[in-house]
Structure 1
């Protein structure tokens, strides 16, 4: 993947207690569109059941886990075994690692098929991610709102429209003090693919 297709500036969007760095044009638009089409076809998407408030329902999105074969990943009662890295994911991983100076062992992919698909409020604070994990999130396809709110003072909120080709990196203490979600949207009729790179320990 050519280096000039990637942008390397970023700023911290959190006012305190953590870091969320945003690179709105990390992947150029044409390349992002190509990656969306490729991943929509290449990835082995599944709709996993999840247990919420004592009930088992299907997640309102499609998911997949790729990565190093040694470790599975568990969250919200789901255990996912990784599929081996493919060349497309390796390309993206390489560029993110070069920018962030971090190494990643897995990528959790989410496919929001339209505005009815969503992700509720949560923190990525599983023990398998370590105390202060770095999570790098690539967005491809339709723009969706990414919302953050302080875990203790829920009146403190941020809304970040994540456009196609953008990179958002959460690090420091952000998973202790901030939770995030992708809400439903009646205005969105097309799909978004989100890749969240993480390191399992």
Structure 2
């Protein structure tokens, strides 16, 4: 596999997308467009995608979008009442992880991947604030495939902002963003292709 092409700006360049209570930076060209197509195909074919199981209002819900949880040994992760055990890193994921670590200046030990087949599949408003996550660590979200709208909403005053996440882009959310803002991948009726989103994270409760 050829080396990925990195768009060089550091995490401290560009404009903070949030007006207060957090820091979010967008890098539109982390990965070369030709490599994006290859990576999407490799991840789509190589990972053990499964429908996500969520517990909402006491009921178990199966989503149409698919997920995969990858990480170092012992990096279990629980959200919506479901505990996930990590799959091993693949060579492609390790290359993308290196890029995410370079722009964030942080080392990650896990990655949650979501596969959205079309615009009718999205993610509701939430924060990535589960107890296993290091609250001081950034979260880097890398997008492959269809362009999708991503929104932020302040928990208290409901201030909102949004942007379109492009193929090969990266979004970095620094602390204390998760404590004050919810975010969402918004659904759309627009004809949009499938998308894989990779969120690189730091799990602090690692068991042997």
**TM class, shorter-chain normalised?**
over 0.9
Aligned pairs for 1:27-46 within 5 A: 27-46=31-50
Q: Name the counterpart of 2:140.
A: 136
In 1, Cα distance between the equivalents of 2:119 and 2:71?
Answer: 28
In 2, Cα distance between the equivalents of 1:53 and 1:184?
Answer: 22
C-alpha displacement at 1:132, in angstroms? 2.7
In 1, Cα distance between the equivalents of 2:186 and 2:26?
Answer: 19
Q: Extract unaligned runs of 5+ from structure 2.
A: none
Count matched residues. 199
Q: Does 1:83 align with 2:87?
A: yes
Q: Which runs of 4+ in 1 moved over 4 A?
A: none
1:198 to 195, 198, 201: 201
* TM-score normalised to structure 2 length: 0.91
Q: Does 1:187 align with 2:196?
A: no
Describe the SS at the equivalent of 1:153.
coil
Q: Name the counterpart of 1:6.
A: 6
Q: Name the counterpart of 1:159.
A: 162
Task: Name the Cα RMSD after superposition.
Answer: 1.3
* TM-score normalised to structure 1 length: 0.94
C-alpha contact (below 8 Å) 1:110/1:193 kept by paired residues: yes
Deviations 1:141-182 (A, max 9, x none): 00000100101111x111110010000010121001111001
Aligned pairs for 1:51-200 within 5 A: 51-154=55-158, 156-200=159-203
